[in-house]
Structure formats: structure tokens, C-alpha cells
A = this chain, B = another copy of it.
């Protein structure tokens, strides 16, 4: 009479459980100390089940990451101004990165060739759209911008996000847009952008080694 409930998890249900377990482990112990055994134990299943789906912890971690973080440029921002659009794009990138610690990213990039910078291409499309609209509005003379220039804001932000330990602030985003990107486009900001305080400020962090 009563609906026979499956005792044993299978397929998608099981997979979701595992990916959530992996995500939890990633945040508790970090990628470096992520173990298949740990994930299996937390998901209350066997290691074989994991290995049936992902060849190694890198693939598992990538899958867990994607499971939690949806696609980035689902719908391009449209704030009505060039500056607003670009800032919104950068904000979304930063917000997205919030979930993914640098350490995890580096660990993945060290072990997996999966994690690519593919998003760069996607971002290029988004930026092209933004510039298109800006040209239509007459904010800039032409949408014909070198791809190198077009990717400057996202590249610079990504550089900060992944390769430095600087906290990502609104000021940082404003700097990238107002000191670098807009000037490159020959855009002269109107009166609404007079908060250019941080310019010419020295970086606080000191070098302790030689880095790379």
C-alpha cells in the first residue's frame, strides 16, 4: 500500500549526496587534505562508488565545485551605463570566487587540466556585449576594441583573486575600472564618479621573499 521507498541510494540522488559531502570536506579540510576516504565516509558510501564516477580527487573536486557554483555569465548585466555594467561583471566574479578558496583553486590547477581559464572566453563575450550597448548609447565612439583591451578588467581582477592575498574590495574594482579600463577606452567619466580616492596610494603589504 505505502509507497516502497528505496533503502539504497542510487544514481543522481547518491551523486548529489557525494558532491555535497565533497564540498563540505573541501571547506573543512581544504583541497590539499581532501581524501576520497573522507568523502566516502561522510557520504556513507564506499570508495568504489566514487571511483566509478571520478577518476581522482581532482575530478571529484571539480565536479563538487561545479555542482555548487552555477555558470557565471547566465545573464549579462545591464545597468544602463558602461561603468555600471563593468563594475557589475567584476562584482559577480568576486562574489563567485568567494566560495572557492585560493588554495582549492591552486590545488586543482596543479592536479587537473580540467580547470581551465575557459571562462576568459565567456567573459570576452560578455564584455563585447557591454561595449556594444555602450557604443549604441554613445558612451564610447566604437565597440571595436582590441580583445586584449577588452579582457583587461577581468584579467586584472582574476590576477588579484587568484594570485594575491589582497582582499577584494569595492575600491579595488573601482580602481580597475576607473584608472585602467575606462581611460583605455578614452572614456571621460562624468560627475558621478568623483570617488577616486585610492589613486596614488601605496600598497601596504611588504615583500618577505622573492616570490615568483
User: Which residues of A pack against B, CB within 8 Å?
Assistant: 31-32, 65-66, 69, 71-72, 96-97, 100, 102-107, 109-111, 114-122, 124, 144-149, 152, 155-156, 158-160, 162-165, 175-176, 179-180, 183-184, 198-203, 205-212
Contacts and interface: CB of A to CB of B under 8 A. Distances in A.
Contacts of A116: 165, 207-209, 211
A65, A158, A184, A212: most-surrounded residue (chain B CB, <10 A): A212
Contacts of A114: 209
A212 B66 CA distance: 9
24 contacts: A32-B111, A66-B210, A97-B212, A106-B106, A106-B110, A116-B207, A116-B209, A116-B211, A117-B165, A118-B208, A118-B211, A122-B207, A122-B211, A124-B203, A145-B200, A146-B175, A147-B202, A148-B176, A148-B198, A148-B199, A149-B180, A152-B156, A155-B160, A158-B163
Count this chain's copies in the assembly: 4
A145 B207 CA distance: 21
A64 B52 CA distance: 33
Contact of A65 (B71, B176, B212): B212
Contacts of A106: 106-107, 109-110
Contacts of A96: 212
